[in-house]
Amino acid sequence: MKKLIIAIFIVLCVGTATYFFPFLGKFFAAPGEMFQAVSTGMEIKQLETMIIGFSKKYERWPTEEEYSELVAENFNRDRNDSLLSSVLVDVWGEPYNYFRQGSGFVIVSMGPDKKPGTTDDMILLRHK
């Protein structure tokens, strides 16, 4: 009974705090969003490692077509999320965008809002 009272008290405090201070809602909603961001960041890092491996073998970055082939070869199709042909999607169901830029490459996840060029995008920029 004591644990139930404490739990109710915590819920009331959090609810009251987020009512009077709306910005606090982001902190209490954060664990799920944080997990998605961490998961996406880890996947972007795996993509980077795959691309660097290609670069070491061929002494250049892969083209967009070669990137798609690498994804198809290196990512398991039995994963919980989906591979649409050779397109790897992030936790929000959108494809990672890969393109070469100057002497490097860029990998982009459009983030939870699924719109390019917004503040929630996750971007990895790699130069040689």
Share of the chain above pLDDT 90, in %: 41
Task: Please state the domain extents for the chain.
Answer: 35-127
| Tally of CA atoms within 13 A in the half-sphere of 115 that contains its CB | 5
- pLDDT tens track for 6-59: 545 454 454 444 445 555 455 555 567 778 888 888 999 999 999 999 999 999
Q: Quick one: angle between helices 64-74 and 25-58, nearest 10?
A: 100
Q: Measured between alpha carbons, how far is 88 from 37 in angstroms, rounded to an integer? A: 16
H-type alpha helices, the chain: 2-20, 25-58, 64-74
Confidence of residue 76 (pLDDT cuts 50, 70, 90): low
CATH number of 35-127: 3.30.700.10
Residue 31, phi-psi category: left (phi > 0), alpha (psi -120 to 50), beta (remainder)? alpha
| pLDDT tens-digit readout, 2-13 | 554 554 545 445
